[in-house]
Amino acid sequence: MEFAFQRTYRGPLKAAILDWAGTTVDFGCVAPAVVFVQVFEKHGINITMEQAREPMGAEKRKHIQEIAQMDAVQEAWKNAHGTTPTESDIDQMYAEFIPMQVACIGEYADLIPGTLDTIEHMRTRGMRIGGTTGYSSEMTDVLGPEAADRGYEPDVSVAANHVPAGRPAPWMAIKAAMDLGIYPMEACVKIGDTVPDIAEGLNAGMWSVGVVMTGNEIGMSESEFAAAKPKLLEPKRDRAYTKLAQSGAHYVVDGIADIPPILDLIDARLARGERP
Ligand SMILES: [Mg+2]
């Protein structure tokens, strides 16, 4: 056979898979960062907010493990406890993390500005909405109803413990698509605020979009952000845009409010037969 013919999807986007903290709720992704600091503090180790935020997007036990593997933390742990942290130390910290995170997660459930308008816009396009997260279901069971009270309720929500592996593996995004009954994967766009979020979408074969100013990369609450000097924000913004773009994001924007025009761009690329 001299020629082979390849099938391409030319239809529009059918679903958005949205991260929770830093993307749709919890401006600055503050809730988990605060609790990671507190959990290490319980074990006599002071970590910085920057260290606490570094692995953000990952499933939370894996996140604790990644902090524990940082050179400075290993050193401090050795000084405090005589050895570097063991797997059972990490199990113990994760066991402590769960109730501490659940206890405060409701305080960080306010929607990020633009969330409701963007969801409404997506719905008028006929898109369905899925949620994925580094949180476990103990945490989303509290966060989900809090967000619903504020008007945001995705059609399906997948927590990190619902799948064999969290981000950067694609399973949560794929399970969300499956639970929505949506295919092909190139008809889905994944939106999130961290490098593992971008990887999750790309690994799932979806379009992947990063949000910068409302998420972990800037790491400021809404009031801190409002009070921050543009001079301070600009270099942080540049660094964050570069980081998420270099992780392979198809598009990077300030926040979820900026998503609607991106959907037009992706629809146009799909119509031309492009794939993520
Ligand atoms: Mg996030």
H helices present in the chain, as ranges: 30-42, 49-53, 60-68, 71-81, 87-105, 115-124, 137-149, 171-180, 195-203, 222-227, 230-246, 259-271
Going from the Cα of 81 to the center of ligand 1, the distance in angstroms, rounded, reads 32
Going from the Cα of 64 to the center of ligand 1, the distance in angstroms, rounded, reads 16
In this prediction, residue 213 carries a pLDDT of 97
Going from the Cα of 250 to the center of ligand 1, the distance in angstroms, rounded, reads 17
Going by CATH, does the domain composed of 31-107 fall within 1.10.150.240? yes
Going from the Cα of 34 to the center of ligand 1, the distance in angstroms, rounded, reads 14
**Using CB atoms within 10 A of its CB, is residue 140 exposed (0-12), middle (13-18) or buried (19+)?**
buried
What digits encode the pLDDT tens for the residues 22-45? 999 999 999 999 999 999 999 999
In this prediction, residue 259 carries a pLDDT of 98
- What residues are labeled active site? 19, 60
List the chain residues with pLDDT less than 70: none
Q: Which residue has the tokens 């239809």?
A: 11
In this prediction, residue 143 carries a pLDDT of 97
Determine the Cα–Cα distance for residues 269 and 276; give it in Å rounded to an integer: 9
Parse the chain into domains and list their residue ranges.
15-30+110-271, 31-107
The whole-model pTM stands at: 0.95
Query: If we measure between CA atoms, which residue out of 98, 72, 97, 96 comes closest to residue 85?
Result: 72
CB-based contact 67:32 (threshold 8 Å): no
What digits encode the pLDDT tens for the residues 90-147? 999 999 999 999 999 999 999 999 999 999 999 999 999 999 999 999 999 999 999 9
Q: Domain 15-30+110-271 has what CATH class?
A: alpha beta
In this prediction, residue 1 carries a pLDDT of 83
In this prediction, residue 70 carries a pLDDT of 97
